[in-house]
Amino acid sequence: MNSAITNGEAERDNTGAREESLRMVSSQPIENEPISDEELRPHVLENFIGQPRLKAQLQLFLDAARKRDVPPDHVLLAGPPGLGKTTLAMIVANELEVPIRVTSGPAIQHAGDLASILSSLDAGEVLFIDEIHRLPRAAEELLYIAMEDFRVDVMVGKGPGASSIPLTLPRFTVIGATTREGMLPSPLRARFGFTAHLDFYPHEELEKLIERSAQVLDVRLGAGAARELSLRSRGTPRIANRLLRRVRDWKIVHDLNVVDPPAVEKALALYQIDSEGLDRLDIAVLKAIVTSFAGGPVGLNNLSAMVGEEAETVETVCEPYLVREGFLVRTPKGRVATAKAWQHLGLEPKVDVNKLF
């Protein structure tokens, strides 16, 4: 295998990650999870589950690079946390049988840090830059040139006497990962020959992923158990694998041979995760809108004060999933709970929900 280093550090210091780290259904890695992420990471494209279009694109891209026998173009992997960006970067390097160097935007504080990594790359090597949208501006500029011309200008000396010496680099491949593609400056974005967008996984794909992980973890799932888990995983492989590990705990403690759907339900109820993958905070948000604000619309700040959370946590952690699943709508006047939200809480809408939009 490659000299892969886990990138968990970079992800854990994300904004909002501290509050989020307490949640079972967080899409960010928690505690020592980057290590357990490793054991479930597929190493070849064939074992990467789902995302069929992206896989086909990447397969073609890799086959062409192998046939031409040159390092492939730079690749940008964009999408929410936990969907497989780091995994794909590792797979690309593994499939090309080249080493991979791992760094991240926040780990590079000065352009010089990046210059020294670039100038030590071997021909054909993959440089994986996680959270590439968080590179300092000066490093970004250095990176465009390196990606385009395979050259880096190394500064020698300081102050008025400083000069730059151009250094030619061997051809290499940058793989950038970002959760915020929109924050990348367009000149940098334009340097990538291929941008892959990762999307939330449909239940059926998560089911397959859970079955594969269960084999790796030596958990026998009974009929329907993988489906129960997939429904609670918020379209996110990292969450699916995490819930599966908690189910494994349950299996071990209760000496079960096979884990059936009721066991899944009981294990996850312990963590207050309901049938739709909503946790305590999601439910608190919906309840606040419905009971305290008569269904909405309510502004983000009022809402977060009501549930006792940072506005940013509510906005970046709860809302995307609630909106995607049709529990919540964001309108110019504020957040509105949908009929589905009332129903999920077991309540009759007291207002004509459609009039709130």
For ligand ADP, what does the binding mask look like between residues 259 and 278, x meaning CB under 6 A? Answer: --------------------
Q: Considering only the stretches 57-65, 82-90, 311-319, 325-333, report the one whose residues sit in contact with ligand ADP under the rule CB under 6 A.
A: 82-90
Per-residue tokens: 259: 């884990």
According to DSSP, the residues that pair with 335 across neighbouring strands are 298, 330
168: annotated active-site residue: no
Q: With CB under 6 A, what is the number of residues at the site for ligand ADP?
A: 19
Q: Residue 32: left if φ>0, alpha if ψ -120 to 50, beta else—which one?
A: alpha
103: annotated active-site residue: no
Which partner from the list Mg ion, ligand ADP, none does 50 bind, CB cut-off 5 to 8 Å by kind? ligand ADP
Distance from C-alpha of 202 to C-alpha of 325, rounded to nearest angstrom: 12
According to DSSP, the residues that pair with 334 across neighbouring strands are 331
176 binds ligand ADP (CB under 6 A): no
- Closest to 133 measured CA to CA, from 88, 92, 192, 200: 192
- Cα angle at 81 between 270 and 55, to 5 degrees? 115
41 binds ligand ADP (CB under 6 A): yes
78 binds ligand ADP (CB under 6 A): no
130: annotated active-site residue: yes
Distance from C-alpha of 350 to C-alpha of 327, rounded to nearest angstrom: 16
| Footprint of ligand ADP on 203-222 (CB under 6 A) | 209
The secondary structure of residue 193, as a DSSP letter, is S
Give whichever of 41 and 191 is closer to ligand ADP, judged by the CB atom: 41
Which partner from the list ligand ADP, Mg ion, none does 307 bind, CB cut-off 5 to 8 Å by kind? none
Q: Considering only the stretches 81-89, 95-103, 141-149, 154-162, report the one whose residues sit in contact with ligand ADP under the rule CB under 6 A.
A: 81-89
| 3-state SS track over 107-151 | HCCCHHHHHHHHHCCCCCCEEEEECHHHCCHHHHHHHHHHHHHCE
Pairing type for strands 334-337 and 328-331 reads antiparallel
Sign, Cα dihedral of 25, 28, 31, 34: positive
Active-site residue (options: 23, 41, 87, 130)? 130
179: annotated active-site residue: yes
Active-site residue (options: 23, 41, 85, 335)? 85
242 binds ligand ADP (CB under 6 A): no
Minimal distance, residue 200 CB to ligand ADP, in Å: 11
The binder of ligand ADP chosen from 10, 50, 95, 341 (CB under 6 A): 50
The residue type found at 173 is: T
For Mg ion, what does the binding mask look like between residues 70 and 89, x meaning CB under 5 A? Answer: ---------------xx---
Distance from C-alpha of 154 to C-alpha of 184, rounded to nearest angstrom: 24
Residue with the CB atom nearest ligand ADP in the bound state: 84
Active-site residue (options: 23, 41, 86, 232)? 86
Is the CB of residue 295 less than 8 Å from the CB of residue 289? Answer: yes
- What count of residues does the chain have? 357
The binder of ligand ADP chosen from 83, 139, 196, 318 (CB under 6 A): 83
241 binds Mg ion (CB under 5 A): no
238: annotated active-site residue: yes
What is the CB neighbour count within 10 angstroms for residue 276? 16
Instruction: Kindly list the catalytic residues.
Output: 85-86, 130, 179, 238
Residues that bind ligand ADP (CB under 6 A): 37, 40-42, 48-51, 81-87, 209, 237-238, 241
Which residues of the chain form contacts with Mg ion (CB under 5 A)?
A: 85-86
